[in-house]
Each structure stands twice: as C-alpha cells, then as structure tokens.
Amino acid sequence: MSISVLDMSVSLDGYIADPDDFLGGEDGERLHKWADAESGPVKQFQDEWNTAGAVLAGRRTAELMDHWGGDHGGLPIFVPSHRPPGPAARWGYPLVTYVTDGIESAMAQAKAAAGGRDVQVRGAYTGQRALEAGVLDEVQVHLIPVLLGRGRRLFDVLPSEIELEVVRVIDTQEATHIRYRVRR
C-alpha cells in the first residue's frame, strides 16, 4: 500500500526558504548541505527517495524546479492546481500531470501511479493542504541547526491541531532527521 510522505529540510525556527525562495544562507543551499554526505543516513534517505513510485508537488515548487526537467528521477509528477499548466509542462513533459479537481484526487492519482510504493510530497503549501484534507500519511523533516529568522515556513497555516507519532529519529552533526506518522 502506498503511503504519502512530505519530506522537507527546515531550519530550527521552522523556515524552508528565505523570502526570495533561497534555501537559506548566502549560497542558497544551506538547508540541503546535509545531503552532500556520501554515507551514513544520507544513503538511507537516498534509497527511500529512489524507491518511491510517484511525486506530488505543489505548483510553485514544480515551477521553481522546472518540473525537474519533466520527471523526478523517472517518477511521474502530479501537480494539484486550479490553473492549467504552462507550455513546458503541457507539451514537453509527458510524466507531469496537472490535476485540477483537488488535492484528494491528485493524491489518489499519485498513489495509483506509485503502484504500492511511496508518494514523495514536495512543497509546504501542498503538504499543508494534504494534511488538511487527511491524505498525508507521514512527515519527514531534516531539522538543520540554523536560525534563518525570516522567510517561508513549513507549517504556516493549518486548520486545526494535528497529532503526530514519532516513527524514527536519526541525529547527525549536519541535521536531526525526524519521521512522523500522522495520527487519524
């Protein structure tokens, strides 16, 4: 059975990017430097990402990443949106599907395409909407020891309190990696 996992790097004060969409620090990659390691838990996370079956990405995230060139490591990408896709996503990227009838439908399509493997969820807004709709199963945060002080928060607006259960904690010098299951 497919599970959906929001997987994001976040500063200690809850930010995923600065106000200009840089990922923290002067070089714009501060929140992802932990993934540069070649061994240890990074390999475990890479294996998890590589065994996923589909990606559900918010429109903003998908467009900032240029839809990962049309596929996310060979995985189909589903983008919930109220607007039709731009030209590249419409004609140039056959593995990108824009879903206009809601987050529930987008998640159902992504899980069906995943064929029993995980659905990797990308984007804070989309993660929040998936939580709100009750279609997000797990949250994995890579907590980076830095305070950005401003920017875009991972969980900015939620409709209510959401209970989580700790599934796994891996602590390294570069980050503390915490995986939670959403309690229903």
- Quote the pLDDT of residue 115: 96
**Which residues, listed in sequence order, are joined to residue 182 by a DSSP beta bridge?**
164
Q: Which two tokens stand for residue 173?
A: 């010098």
Axis-axis angle for helices 124-133, 103-114 (nearest 10): 100
Q: What is the pTM of this model?
A: 0.89
In the chain, what are the domains?
4-182 (3.40.430.10)
Q: How confident is the model at residue 24 (pLDDT cuts 50, 70, 90)?
A: low
Q: Which two tokens stand for residue 1?
A: 């059975």
On the 0-12 / 13-18 / 19+ scale of CB atoms within 10 A, 125 is middle
Q: What is the pLDDT of residues 65-100, one digit of tens each?
A: 888 877 778 899 999 999 888 777 777 788 889 999
